Structure 1
Amino acid sequence: AGLLQFARVSAESRALTPADRSYACVPMTHIFGLGTVLAASLHAGAALVMRSRFDPADALQALALHQVSNLQGPPALFTRLLAYLDEQGVVGMPPAPALRYVYTGAAPLDLPLKNAVQDRFGQPLHHGYGLSEYAGAACLVRRGQWREDTAAGVPVEGAECRIVDDAGRELPLGETGEIWLRGVGLMPGYFRDPAATAQVMREGGWYATGDLGRIGPDGALHVVGRLKEMIIRSGFNVYPGEVENVLNQHPSVLRSAVVGRKEADGNETVLAFVETVGGQALSDTDLTELQTLIKDQLAPYKRPTSLTAIEALPMTHSGKVLKRALLDLPAPV
């Protein structure tokens, strides 16, 4: 019932019709591919341009020649697409005569990437928030809305969202806490795992997501990061996404990841890893500019202890960074 509900809600949020075509390259085993791409298209009778994996050249060809009207994927897909356009020397907007809706989800979105995608395609980059435990997105940015932030939108029909403190008390607008969800799309529990179910389900049918966020004055959800990924340094909370957003502003940085490494005294060290454009090493000028960005925009306790350039960040097939793998790398010196 939850998946069918979301198929309708997702299709209606994009005004999908049988005339639409979606570029379908995200795994259908992931709720993004299953719900947002496949189920919504089937509900509307829309067509799918099916691909087993993402290839930027093929995606651009599909946009130019095959009347693709909906382009959806995780932020990593758009990062690769923009990098390919730059490598090929494409200036301005690529040919996409039928494109009318662009969407990203399944991973955090940073503002420089959002702005770059919007500049390239002349369309608002819509964003949303969902998870496998909720059938599809629980929050979506309204179609056609241009936002100057990276909010994940407002709850969809049948979904509820609240922000709570450590004791489960609802927090006022603007305060950061754990995101709780409930609604039609919520799972009844984990398959044959009552212990795991009990760890996340709360009184009143709420699901404790483990994600951190806040609600803005317009009711839109802003996702800050993962509760488990939050770094505690000198007694202060450091949200990796905030640091990553600063690093991603530098033109030489393709994407970044920030993790905390526990020290013997119980404190945590803030470690930053960056994947550079074209895999090039960071120059002395790049490093100086990055340190200036960090100093100008981050409080001292939020500033990374180390900044390491690596060839490629470890990623899942759905476009999320495998941060635990970064902790297995040798400690920077």
Structure 2
Amino acid sequence: MQFIHEVLQKQAEKQPDAISLYPENHAPISYGELWQHVGVAAAWLRSQGVQAGHRVMLACENCPEHIALMFACSVVGAWPVSVNARLSAGEIRSIAEHCEPHLIVFTKQCSPAAARHAEEYSAQPCKAQGLRDACSYAVYRPNAQPESPELAQQVAMLVYTSGTTGAPKGVMVTHKGLLHFARVSAASRQLSGRDIAYAALPMSHIFGIATVLMATLQAGASLVVRSRFDVDDLLAALVAPGISILQGVPTMYVRLLDVVSDAQQVQAPALRYVYTGGAALDPALKERIETLFGQPMHHGYGITEYAGSMFITRADAPRSDTSAGYAVEGVELRIVKEGRPITTAGEDGDILIRGPGVMLGYYRNPEQTAQALLPGGWLSTGDIGHIDADGALFLTGRSKDLIIRSGFNVYPLEVEAAINAFPGIRLSAVVGKKESDGNEEIIAFYETERPEDINVDALREHLAQHLAPYKRPSRFIHIDSIPTTTSGKIRKDPLRAFEF
């Protein structure tokens, strides 16, 4: 295969009557029907003048129309630029100005947020039959130039980073990388046509695109497609149609535990694989989820700049710790510190990656591309971690989140893990705040199950038993809801800007 739409085409030819999607409020869609929708959408794109190398922006939430349009862009040779419709008008506008799409399509039927954006752009109704009148569109830059044929053939889509630290960057994700990972991911999870996966992760994010969508279609399995995560909906879907593969970011599982804490409250007769990625795994969360479902919680490590997970725990050998597992096929790892490769197990350093999923670069951003793509094909991830004696990767934190306290390195993940283990704490986020002497104060924000349950003095005593003095926060701030991106990652910049 050369292009991502060929994965769907193959399944439509092989098993046209098998169910591909279980949408919200609609009958199931077969592989044959979904492929027909892709054909209609591709014809419509061509009728609007879309050519190979054009960008087509999709302001969307998860729905069959979004999926059909992504693959239709692949058929035409255009680049889909999926952005979560829950972004602000300013964020949508910033991405549009950067990528200069030929069209912007809004999945208004499944997303009130997309409908609001469509009004701002005076979007016209889309009458392509295969899109069920669910979309509207705006001609944004009809004179936008397509990219060169060579580049157009390599890039499958632009995926914009969350933009929590400055302007978002458009990652050029390749067909080659997504196709490779679809096969690797399906094999690592032992997916088959009998599986049903849950798809509430936004398909504007690499986790939702690669791990959830592409791997599931590669295996000919089915997807329960949801525009957003809802605990009651998940609990119902575990029963019917019977989810067997559950994947999500850690905050999704935190929200599940807000509602359900007793295993007797959950019926999941088909569930066989539980996985989290997109952020480091907290040991307290892992223990609670494993108790809830009565089976291991698997973990992996991936970033937007790589087309899928780079490390995954082994399905047949679950771990009791919070490791991100082992390198998937094709991935090479290098841990470096001050430019020196680290070979000692357990020693932290900067994580560099090389493999078939490495991005081509940041679109129209050669300076930041040069910072991320290093000589020899290595990608600087911006993450810090170490390898243990048997080759498993442990994430320590983001280099930009590192706190320097009294000359020592403090990794927020370690502090957050200790805080999250305290009874009554639901979620925490630790940041550093510069002091006048150049030192950094450690500040902990936390969510609770019930605010009155937390005695801060008792929490301090708990941390004194688990953390060295220089790692302990000096301030604890209760917050109703820790801010997250639309893909569920904790946003620390708003916390750093918090007025004390």
Partner in structure 2 of residue 277 of structure 1: 449
Match of 2:434 in 1: 262
**What is the aligned partner in structure 2 of residue 6 from structure 1?**
181
Amino acid at match of 1:326: L
CA contact (8 A) 2:263 2:291 kept: no
Structural RMSD (CA): 1.2
Partner of 2:199: 24
Work out whether residues 443 and 476 of structure 2, in 8 Å CA contact, stay in contact via their aligned partners in 1: yes
Aligned partner of 2:95 in structure 1 is: none
Calculate the TM-score normalised by the size of structure 1. Answer: 0.95
SS of structure 2 residue aligned to 1:67: coil
Corresponding residue of 2:217: 42
Instruction: Quote the offset at 1:188 in angstroms.
Output: 2.1
1:303: Cα distance to partner? Answer: 0.7
| Alpha-carbon distance in structure 2 between the residues aligned to 1:266 and 1:99 | 51
- 1:240 is displaced (CA, Å) by 0.3
Question: Which residue does 2:322 correspond to in 1?
Answer: 150
Secondary structure in 2 aligned to 1:269?
strand
User: Percentage identity across aligned positions?
Assistant: 51
**Contact 1:282 / 1:309 at 8 angstroms: preserved in 2?**
no
Q: Please tell me whether residue 322 in structure 1 is matched to residue 491 in structure 2.
A: yes
**1:195 maps onto 2:367 in alignment:** yes
Bigger CA radius of gyration: 2
Unaligned runs of 5+ in 1: none
Aligned equivalents of 2:216, 2:192: Cα separation in 1: 8
Q: What are the ranges of 5 or more consecutive residues in structure 2 without an aligned counterpart? A: 1-175
Distance 1:153 1:277 in 2: 31
Higher relative contact order (CA 8 A, sep 6+): 1
CA distance in 1, matches of 2:189, 2:318: 15
Q: Is the 8 A contact 2:192 2:220 kept in 1?
A: yes
Once the two structures are superposed, residues 79-109 of structure 1 have per-residue CA deviations (whole angstroms, 9 ceiling, x without a partner) of 11111114xxx45361100001110000111
**Match 2:190 to one of 15, 38, 48:** 15
The letter for the 2-side match of 1:163 is I
User: Does residue 298 of structure 2 align to residue 126 of structure 1?
Assistant: yes
Matches within 5 A, 1:20-99: 20-86=195-261, 90-92=262-264, 94-99=266-271
Q: In 1, Cα distance between the equivalents of 2:464 and 2:195?
A: 47
Aligned partner of 2:274 in structure 1 is 102
Deviation at 1:121, TM superposition (A): 0.5
**Change over 3 Å in CA distance of 1:231–1:301 after alignment to 2:** same
Contact 1:135–1:187, Cα closer than 8 Å, also in 2: yes
CA–CA separation in structure 1 for the residues paired with 2:471 and 2:400: 17
Deviation at 1:220, TM superposition (A): 0.5
Q: 1:210 to 1:91 in 2, by over 3 A?
A: closer
From the superposition, tell whether residues 91 and 69 of structure 1 become closer, same or farther in structure 2 (CA, over 3 Å): closer
Say whether 1:224 aligns with 2:421: no
Could you list the per-position Cα deviations for residues 150-196 of structure 1 after superposition, in whole angstroms to 9, with x for gaps in the alignment? 00000000111121102243342210011110101111211121111
Amino acid at match of 1:296: Q
Find the residue that maps to 2:341 and give its secondary structure: coil
Distance 2:285 2:342 in 1: 32
> What SS does the aligned partner of 1:134 have?
coil
Q: Provide the TM-score with structure 2 as the length reference.
A: 0.64
Q: Secondary structure at the match of 2:458?
A: helix
Structure 1 stretches of 4+ with a deviation exceeding 3 A read 90-93
In structure 1, what is the Cα distance between the partners aligned to 2:462 and 2:392? 28
Shifted more, 201-210 versus 24-33: the winner is: 201-210
